[in-house]
Amino acid sequence: MTLDAALTPAQRTTDLLVTRTLDDLYWVMSYSRWKDERYWPKFRDALKREHPDLTDDGLMKAKEFNAQRYHYQGIGRFEPAAAMARGLADLAALANLISRQGYVHGSTPTSIDAGIYGFVANIYFYDIDTPLKQFVVAHDALAQHCRAIYADVADVA
């Protein structure tokens, strides 16, 4: 039995829409780290701490490569504030979907909760104070969802 076996057709449609929202959020998160000059230095420094073999030259090549990807994807044509606004709107939509019982579809997590966790945890637990992180911290539904999934996974491991 899979996590999603009991989902209704409407819930499966919601999951598809959330997946598409997460795709948009991915590009904003990545943009905020590699292209937004307000956060790039902190991200660069974190990468160098976590991966000491990285060189400045290699990081600049990756930064340029990502800037090109952002342009072709579309997010790279936005000013930083406008790109961030997209991500904040994505997070607001996610926060509104999490039920009072703690997960998107009620009191039991499904695969879409795991998908949301993958993105929100990458914001919540990462030590760079962006507007995305400030939003997650300020919206208890998102922060609690992230902590609950983390606790569930930690219990299994």
**For the stretch 78-111, what's the b/e string if a residue is b when 16 or more beta carbons lie within 10 angstroms of its beta carbon?**
beeeebbebbbebbeebbebbeeebbbbeeebbe
| Both tokens assigned to 9 | 């057709």
The whole-angstrom separation of Cα 113 and Cα 7 is 13
Structure tokens at 62: 């990756």
* Amino acid 157: pLDDT: 55
Quickly tell me which residue has 């990081």 as its tokens. 59
Residues 6+ apart with CB under 8 A from 49: none
Residue-level pLDDT at 99: 79
Residue 81 tokens, joined: 């504030």
Among 103, 113, 100, which Cα is nearest to 18's? Answer: 113
In this prediction, residue 61 carries a pLDDT of 98
Give the whole-angstrom CA distance, residue 137 versus residue 147.
11
Per residue in 111-153, pLDDT (tens digit) is: 999 999 999 999 999 999 999 999 999 999 999 999 999 988 7
Task: Please state the pTM of the whole predicted model.
Answer: 0.92
Nearest to 32 by CA among 42, 22, 23: 42
CA–CA distance, 101 with 106 (Å, rounded to integer): 5
pLDDT given at position 33: 96
Phi and psi (nearest 5°) for 44? -55, -50
Those residues of the chain that have pLDDT short of 50 are none
- How open is the CA angle 18-21-25, to the nearest 5 degrees? 135
Question: What is the dotted CATH code of the domain comprising 9-156?
Answer: 1.20.1050
- Residue 47 CA, chain-centre distance (Å), reads 18
